[in-house]
């Protein structure tokens, strides 16, 4: 029994020594290039990236910027989209065209027109080209009536052209205007309705007299 026990103890000691000195062979390290390729493939799709993942910005269609919070309001833009040179040029040129032009009133071409009121007083005004004398009179607070507002339904805007030469430069009156002039007070050979006299360059310096009374039938 003593010999058997000694043999077992020797065997156990030898086995323990063998286990202590034994070391498994080390595994070869994975190549760094392979690991980077694997990480890049994991982040190639933006739909699979979570907030904690770091994805390559080249795989995204836009550049990301940090957004800043101040009192609960976002300041700045979270994303910056690329703008083509053509789009930038169109945007800047449209702004320049919008800001560089003057107002229509500054560039409007006008002629001189003199209204002679019922008391014989002259009032010279600037009449924009294309406007009729009734509108010009009202724009400049000239006392010229216009009950029908230029619809050829009355004769209250009747004026008398003082210079016959200017009268001949005007287009001939239509039948409707002639019908209304037949009802006008103090009718003259150079009588016209103010709503039918259109400011034109060849009428610069025109003088018209306002009759002492009007007739609205």
CATH number at residue 146: 3.10.20.30
Residue 165 covered by a domain: yes
pLDDT band at 84 (very low <50, low <70, confident <90, very high): very low
3-state secondary structure of 90: helix
Closest CA relative to residue 158, chosen from 111, 126, 190, 128 = 190
Average pLDDT over residues 26-32: 48
Residue 104's pLDDT is 53
DSSP state of 61: S
Average pLDDT over residues 155-184: 97
Contacting residues for 132 by C-beta, under 8 A, at least 6 apart: 150, 194, 195, 196, 197, 198, 199
Give the total number of structural domains in the chain.
1
Residue 148 covered by a domain: yes
Residue 172 covered by a domain: yes
Cα separation values, 166 from 135, 203, 208, Å:
19, 6, 10
Cut 0.75: pTM above it? no
DSSP β-ladder status, 191-193 and 122-128: unpaired
In whole angstroms, what is the distance from residue 129 CA to residue 139 CA?
14
């Amino acid at each position: 029994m003593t010999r058997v026990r000694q043999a077992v103890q020797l065997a156990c000691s030898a086995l323990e020594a063998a286990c202590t000195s034994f070391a498994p062979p080390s595994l070869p390290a994975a190549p760094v290039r392979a690991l980077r390729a694997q990480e890049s493939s994991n982040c190639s799709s933006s739909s699979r990236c979570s907030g904690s993942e770091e994805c390559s910005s080249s795989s995204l269609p836009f550049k990301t910027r940090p957004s800043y919070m101040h009192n609960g309001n976002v300041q700045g833009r979270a994303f910056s989209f690329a703008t083509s040179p053509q789009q930038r040029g169109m945007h800047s040129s449209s702004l320049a065209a919008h800001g560089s032009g003057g107002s229509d009133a500054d560039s409007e071409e006008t002629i001189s027109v003199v209204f002679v009121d019922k008391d014989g007083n002259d009032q010279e005004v600037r009449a924009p080209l294309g406007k009729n004398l009734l509108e010009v009179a009202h724009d400049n607070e000239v006392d010229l009536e216009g009950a029908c507002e230029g619809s050829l339904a009355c004769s209250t805007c009747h004026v008398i052209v003082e210079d016959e030469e200017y009268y001949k430069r005007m287009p001939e009156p239509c039948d409707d205007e002639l019908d209304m002039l037949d009802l006008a007070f103090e009718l003259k050979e150079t009588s016209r309705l103010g709503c039918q006299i259109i400011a034109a360059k060849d009428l610069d310096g025109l003088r018209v007299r306002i009759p002492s009374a009007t007739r609205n039938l």
